[in-house]
Structure 1
Amino acid sequence: MTSGTHQPAVLVLADGSVFRGVAFGATGTTLGEAVFSTGMTGYQETLTDPSYHRQIVVATAPQIGNTGWNDEDSESHTGRIWVAGYVIRDLSMTVSNWRATRSLEDEMIAQGIIGIRGVDTRALVRRLRNFGSIKAGIFSGEDARADVEELVAAVKAQPDMAGADLSAEVSTTEPYTLEPEGEARFTVVAYDMGIKSSTPRYLVQRGIRTIVVPANTPFSEITSYDPDGVFVSNGPGDPATADAMVEVVREVLAAKIPFFGICFGNQILGRALGLETYKLKFGHRGINVPVIDHTTQRISITAQNHGFALKGQGGERFDSDFGPAIITHTCLNDDVVEGVALADGRAFSVQYHPESAAGPHDAQPLFDQFVELMSAARSETQEA
């Protein structure tokens, strides 16, 4: 454990709020949007989720770091930590997990990630909940000694999250293929908008050859793979900027290729079907969010990480350029749209994370639903 330097650190919000604490991880300055995550476990998966790019994450759990860091649980393809910064109440000084190979702080220092501990996170989260996610900055070491007005000015000067086009910054730059476990049943093209590592693993476990391609890869290029289905992943940024991916999905739907999307992919499918998006006040980030499926009335506890959402009402049916569509899922906490689909089932998506890394396993059958959809489409083609 490398903590113990007790260098000063300060978290500054754009509204002038100041939260003082102690530095942990790397020292210096980092800027981003302050958001909070309600997950009690899974901080390694959270920190490495590319959807958190350019965000300073506040942990609501009172103690972080007790399970250390290992080489298996990172959710980025390269093991990179994507959060802009980390804010916690208490840092565990002992690592107590047999899988750990190093401490959380050791990994943050190695990757240059700036954190602050000793913050009254209850007061901070109440502020974010009441007034919304906000531009913020962590300043540690000598940077923490600067005049507060200068720090607030630096925080305010950073770009807004609304209007941010970030998927290309986190996506793979070259396609790569993950071979299926056992006999190859299907081929799926997976668009990496910030894909979590667990998602392709759930596909290959089901006999799916998974070809991961960069964000915005033209539809004309993916046809060379002769895909049985197309998947669009989670990712950061404002979905209103994703015009290129919306057009790709519209071409996928027009070609009647089975489609499955999660998180950012849900917003892109919604836009392709004619829905609008908007920025949530403070978003959904955690592993305990209840969602109802209006087609079955079944409730699932889900893992989520999103700050934008589709406009609509649960169970609402509407016309699209590709046939009737329906808003299939909503959040039981606030009625935010959590899923959309074509009424004939050829395309569906959810706002939450069925790969459950970290999180509950309630939504994992969605991967099987995708397999069933591709099986049905293949049967229809063979009969024709």
Structure 2
Amino acid sequence: MKYQSRKKAIVLLEDGTIFHGKAVGDQDGKAFGEVCFNTGMTGYQEIFTDPSYFGQMMVTTNPHIGNYGANEDEKEAEKAQISGLICKNFSYFESRPASDETLKEFLDRSNLFAISDVDTRALVTYIRENGAMNAVIATDFEDLDALKKELSEVPDMNGLELASKVSTKEPYFFGSETATYRVAVLDVGVKKNILRNLAKRDVYCKVFPYNTPFSEMKKWNPDGYLISNGPGDPKPLKEAIQTAKDIIEANEPLFGICLGHQIIALANGISTYKMHHGHRGINHPVMNLITGKGEITSQNHGFTVSEDECAAHPDVEITHTHLNDNTLAGFKMKNKNCFSVQYHPEASPGPNDSHYLFDEFIQNMTKENA
């Protein structure tokens, strides 16, 4: 399909910097969010549907987006979670037999506004140098002052609670009811592939809303607990932090992923902070300090846990570190059945280096039941 009337569009950053492009398709549009970038060469559908990206404007560094279409089985949530898409070259045609639809059709169904023909190399370089910030993409930019005023009213990600926007409203089940293990999942933005990885390890999951107390979760009599990934700042999630404290106090098997990792840190009195521009991609190198082995990992986070406070904590041992910037990538509690990582072991960006973490979680539940 050829779009003859593609409208000019801009990316306006909160500091006033402008990048030019064109709307994907022939419609007008406008979208706001914190601008961030992902360096993955593939996996755009998983990125766009990852609840951890809720409220964020995604810049893809791969110059070609859309060429393999979209597949119903590859989504991480029922709908797109990003607030908008910025790319270099957008493909309106898909060339993969397994695709169910074009990416354009997927975006239209998701009511997601996208722009292309942007100099994404320049934009990503700017973010790396100046940090993540709010942005707007729009086709109507004649009144820049009015657009800047709208943008100034978008809340900053620092201090922003978003888990309630993506969490399930009611508990639900995933997997086989006859499975050997039962895991209670605190959903602060859970990806479907986390549940798939548990289910294929003979786990039956019950997924609970983000603010569910431990007392309610334990009524189901699970063998273990998982606190999921998710969007936003972990500090406002007081109820989830208390739930983590209570699970730890009861010494139940607990596994935290990404935002869940940050929540567990806060439950131990270890602080978190907003990063300059975050880690988002599928080739981030992590060192496992226990085994001495490196892992190629998938990551998506704009906040992280204080490594200094973690190292000084008497009850915590650092288990993983990010090799690019030495930020904390994982820890375990010395006297409790609890561990967590800052990356995504359920993702398979080619290597399956981190799948063992699910197996360790199963082993922890097995020890508990021995």
Shorter-chain TM-score: which interval?
Answer: over 0.9
Query: Cα offset for 1:317?
Result: 5.4
CA distance in 2, matches of 1:18, 1:377: 56
TM-score normalized by the length of structure 1: 0.93
- For residues 107-138 of structure 1, the C-alpha deviation after alignment (integer angstroms, 9 at most, x for no partner) is 11122101110000000000000010011001
**Mapped contact 2:9–2:20 kept (Cα < 8 A):** yes
Unaligned runs of 5+ in 1: 380-384
After superposing on structure 2, the runs of 4+ consecutive aligned residues of structure 1 that deviate more than 3 Å are: 1-5, 357-360
For each residue in 1:289-312, what CA deviation from the matched residue of structure 2 results, as whole angstroms up to 9, or x when unmatched? 001111222110100100000001
The aligned residue for residue 330 of structure 2 is 339
Residue 166 of structure 2 corresponds to: 170
Residue 63 (structure 2) pairs with residue 67 (structure 1): no
Give the number of aligned pairs.
369
Equivalent runs, 1:194-273 vs 2, <5 Å: 194-273=189-268
Question: Partner residue of 2:347?
Answer: 356
Mapped contact 1:290–1:332 kept (Cα < 8 A):
yes
Matching residue's letter, 2:161:
D
> Which region of structure 1 is more displaced relative to structure 2, 366-375 or 19-28?
19-28
Shift in Å at residue 94 of structure 1?
2.6
**Within the alignment, does 1:161 sit opposite 2:151 as a pair?**
no
Question: Residue 149 of structure 1 aligns to which amino acid in structure 2?
Answer: D
Counterpart of 1:201 in 2: which secondary structure? helix
> 1:1-384 alignment to 2 at 5 Å?
1=1, 3-24=3-24, 27-76=28-77, 78=78, 80-140=79-139, 143-144=140-141, 146-180=142-176, 184-313=179-308, 316=311, 318-319=313-314, 324-344=315-335, 346-356=337-347, 358=349, 360-379=351-370
Secondary structure in structure 2 of the residue aligned to 1:239: coil
CA distance in 2, matches of 1:228, 1:292: 29
Moved more, 188-197 or 355-364: 355-364
Q: Take 2:348 and 2:150, find their aligned partners in 1: how far apart are those partners?
A: 34
Q: Measure how far apart 1:15 and its partner are.
A: 0.8
TM-score (structure 2 length as normaliser): 0.96
CA distance in 2, matches of 1:275, 1:313: 9
Contact between 2:251 and 2:336, CA under 8 Å: does it hold in 1?
no
Q: Name the aligned partner's letter for residue 15 of structure 1.
A: D
**Contact 2:185 2:206 (8 Å CA) reproduced:** yes
Q: Quote the sequence identity (%).
A: 40
Aligned residue identity for 1:63: H
Q: Say what the alpha-carbon RMSD is for the aligned residues.
A: 1.6
> Matches of 2:46 and 2:28 in 1, distance apart?
22
User: Does structure 2 conserve the Cα–Cα contact (< 8 Å) formed by 1:315 and 1:329?
Assistant: no
> CA 1:157/1:217 → structure 2, altered by over 3 Å: closer, same or farther?
same
Q: 1:242 to 1:314 in 2, by over 3 A?
A: closer
Pair 2,194 (structure 1): closer, same or farther in 2 beyond 3 Å: farther
